Amino acid sequence: MRPSTALFFTTGALLVLVLEGLALASWQGWIPRRHAAHVPHMKAPPQAQAAAIDVAEQIAEPDVPERPVDAYYRELRSQVRWVPTRLGNEVLFTPDMRSRMLLAKSAAKHARLDEVGLGFADVYGIINAESSWVPRDGISRDGTPNLGIAQFEPATAAALGVRDPHDVVEAVHAAAEHMREAAAWSAARLSTLKLSKSERAARLRDGVSIYYNLSSRGRTLWDGRDISRLPAATQSHIRNARLGAQEAAWLEAQGKVVQARRGRSRSEALVTAEAAP
């Protein structure tokens, strides 16, 4: 065998070994696929290394481009504080009350929910109805997964452009966008009914729960009036959303009381300091 032929077969064999090693390491989770080309301590000829890097870069997962909102999400994520809570026999983690209000207010503002008759308390209420603000995965009766704090089905998350349903910041903001759609649907259902302002506001919110909780087919059960024909789970969702909204309103009122007290304390301290000889 000529030396050039031997070199060809040796290089080819080494290339196969390198590629098999990279694939095995990436598959077993030892090396992230997008960094598989940068494996230390590989003793292959330069030709084999170059070929391996070229192939690895071709199969690597592309970097996801950053969206303008991502920097904002990162900053908001850094402000969320987590506390343990018991759910059944499990101890899980939930955003504390301040963090819940922060997320609900931010999501409502970015989705411009005020334009459709909703506000931050409604976002708080829907997340309360979905997961009690405890991020976890569930499953529907038909076996469809429900993911994260907003309990998105995979298809819904994809339709809303959610990259990670388990990211509470992204999920709550996407939930608010979904609620905007729900409010428009609900308002259309109520458009022909003669209702007082308070009745319309209450039923608008019922419709948001119905839209969020049911499939397109299930939503047809609601005519804008009676919710008694709806599934028990949907009626429970409506009640829990109301309770959550009430809790948010109470927290907001308490926060204003605390701020007022702090303001009075600072004013009194200033007056005392000015009156001192």
pLDDT (tens digit, 9 = 90+) per residue, 177-195?
Answer: 999 999 999 999 999 999 9
Given the structure tokens 């409506």, which residue do they identify? Answer: 238
Q: How far apart are CA 200 and CA 230, in angstroms?
A: 19
Q: What percent of the chain has pLDDT over 70?
A: 72
Digit-coded pLDDT (tens) for 54-74 = 544 444 455 667 788 899 999
213 vs 154, 191, 207, 260, CA distance in Å? 14, 21, 10, 39
- The two three-digit tokens of residue 231, written as one number: 């599934």
Over range 164-187, report the average pLDDT: 98
Residue positions counted in the chain: 277
User: Alpha helix (H) ranges present in the chain?
Assistant: 3-27, 46-59, 68-79, 97-110, 120-131, 154-159, 168-190, 197-213, 216-219, 232-275
Count of alpha carbons within 13 angstroms of residue 114, beta-carbon side: 4
Q: Tell me the backbone φ, ψ of residue 79, rounded to 5 degrees.
A: -95, -10
pTM for this predicted structure: 0.73
pLDDT of 240-260, one tens digit each?
Answer: 999 999 999 999 999 988 887
